[in-house]
Structure 1
Amino acid sequence: MKTLMIHKFRNRVWKLVLMLMVLSACTKDDYYVEGGVANGRFDGSVLQYLESKPVEFDSVVQIVKLAGLDDYLTTDELTFFAPRDENIKELIGALDRGGLNRRLYNEGKDTVKVLSDVDSLIWRKYLQRHMFRGKNKLMDYPQIDFGQQTIYPGQTYYSYNNSVSNIGVVYNDAGGVKYMGYRQLHISYIPDISRPTAGWRTVRVASSDIEADNGIVHVLDVNGGELGFDRGEIENEIAESKR
């Protein structure tokens, strides 16, 4: 009996220590990159930050400039949920692997050889879905629990072109303690605001709270981080523009 009581006491002490460690960690500004920690401060504009990471954002920077949004990412105070080059490449695709170019080829239309082959207004429309006014870090967004959204619903935000997204922070569990684990930002594009709870396109943020001079960058997880949050929609619009 005494041994059992000691064991229970040790378990309680361990859980208390774990909770204190997690709470201590949550008071710091941690910048997670695929589970690792990165420097969260960048000396330059949002655009300059993207330019400084050509492996991840070279194509993104190109379409930002084609869309005429470079001034916004240089001077506006904004929050940018950044897609990655892999997502642009997946959208365009190759003739032997499917994607937009395979479709255009099958329809007898000109394929996309360079990014400027796409109407700049299309790039502008879908990039603006990733742009939100004001500087918002992870700590500025409310909690979301996708299993209990009536209690923790996140919050609705309007982007630069008035498209609608729900943005919230998932509080993960740790050591059997609910909501005491690491926190991860999620953005969910809402295709039809008349049905605000239907058809969400949810993407996790892989790297949050990168603070540039004029804004905050949250880098989307490459898995699911489609440009404009809807690959099918943008693919249809590009194909239709080439009639």
Structure 2
Amino acid sequence: MLNDMRNYSKKIRWGLGLFSLILLLLASCKKDKYYFDGGKSDPNFKGTMLQYLQSKPVQFDTIAQIIKIAGLEKEFQQDELTFFAPTDQSVRSALKNTNNYLYQTGKDTLKVLTDIRPQIWRKYLMMYMFKGANRMKDYYQLDINLKSVYPGQNYYSYNNVIFNIGVIFDDINGIKYAGYRHLTIGYVTDLNKPTDSWVSADISSSDIKPLNGVVHTLNTNHIFGFDYGFVYDVYAGK
């Protein structure tokens, strides 16, 4: 009797283990289709760029609010533009840094987004906005270690700040430039050294196409404003 019970218990554990494995494999298959097969997802969004951002509250709820505070709703609804979209996490990190600085210097900290002047939000959002609808295929190749051959290309943002934008071609299995391709954008901090003074940000997803342009999403570890100028501008404007 005891042996029968042990055998029965083993069968149950084996069955549960097999069932869990099947569920895991099914989940992996679904995840693979989403993450690895670009043909399975539709990059087109049937709405304006502002509507697209509003439809992704986890990533862009704060960004959508800032667009309204900055008075840029018309541009995000009507202009044909390319937006290198910083995520809400980037903004939250910037606000945390700002509040730390305000606290240390004896100024009142920020409570709500409207505590920051619209002109400051406008200035920094426009750094991420570019005229025209450019997908990854529209940008030149960039090799950080061989800029003389593959330099990317410089572009002016909406507020005439210069950025270098390019596509990095990774190596694979010893074959140069044959691997994964991804966009990067670099803020040119010193015009006297236009190829050596970049603050760069990588793009986590690219080529989302609302009706009036293209959205490329920046990595969540990106610093909003590309450096700490945002913190100092908020401090000076308080």
What TM-score results when the alignment is normalised by the length of structure 2?
A: 0.82
Report Cα offsets for 1:161-189 as digits up to 9, x if no partner: 00000000001112221111111000001
Distance 1:34-1:185 versus aligned 2 partners, 3 A rule: farther
Partner deviation per Cα, 1:33-60 (whole Å, 9 max, x = no partner)? 9877443111111111100000000111
Conservation of the 8 A alpha-carbon contact between 2:101 and 2:231: no
Shift of 1:228: 2.0
- Matching residue of 2:234: 238
Query: How does 1:92-103 map onto structure 2 within 5 Å?
Result: 92-93=95-96, 99-103=97-101
Superposition pairs of residues 72-221 of structure 1, within 5 angstroms: 72-93=75-96, 99-221=97-219
**Structure 1: tracts of 5 or more residues without a match:** 1-32, 94-98
User: For residues 36 and 120 of structure 1, do their structure 2 counterparts lie closer, same or farther at Cα, with a shift above 3 Å needed?
Assistant: farther
Letter in 1 for 2:85: A
Q: Structure 2: any 5+ residue segments left out of the alignment?
A: 1-33
The separation in 2 between residues aligned to 1:103 and 1:142, in whole angstroms, is 39
Q: Which amino acid aligns with 1:213?
A: L
Q: 1:125 to 1:106 in 2, by over 3 A?
A: same
Give the share of equivalent positions with the same residue, in percent: 46
Q: 1:34 to 1:88 in 2, by over 3 A?
A: farther
Q: Which residue of the partner structure matches residue 8 of structure 1? A: none
Correspondence for 1:67 among 55, 70, 74: 70
- Structure having the higher helix fraction is 2
Q: Report deviation, 1:70.
A: 1.2
Task: Give the TM-score normalised by structure 1.
Answer: 0.80
Contact conserved, 1:47 with 1:70, CA < 8 A, in 2?
A: yes
Once residues 83 and 199 of structure 2 are traced to their aligned partners in structure 1, the CA distance between those partners, rounded to angstroms, is: 17
- The alignment status of 1:42 with 2:45, answered yes or no, reads yes
Q: Does 1:53 align with 2:73?
A: no
Question: Which digits, 9 at most, give the CA deviation of each residue in 1:129-163, with x for residues without a partner?
Answer: 00000000000000000011100000000000000
Contact 1:34 1:206 in 2 (8 A): no
Partner SS for 2:215: strand
Q: CA RMSD in A?
A: 1.5
Alignment size in residue pairs: 203
* Aligned counterparts of 2:76 and 2:47: Cα–Cα separation in 1: 11
2-side partners of 1:198 and 1:142: how far apart?
Answer: 18
Instruction: Tell me, in whole angstroms, the C-alpha distance in 1 between the residues paired with 2:212 and 2:113.
Output: 27
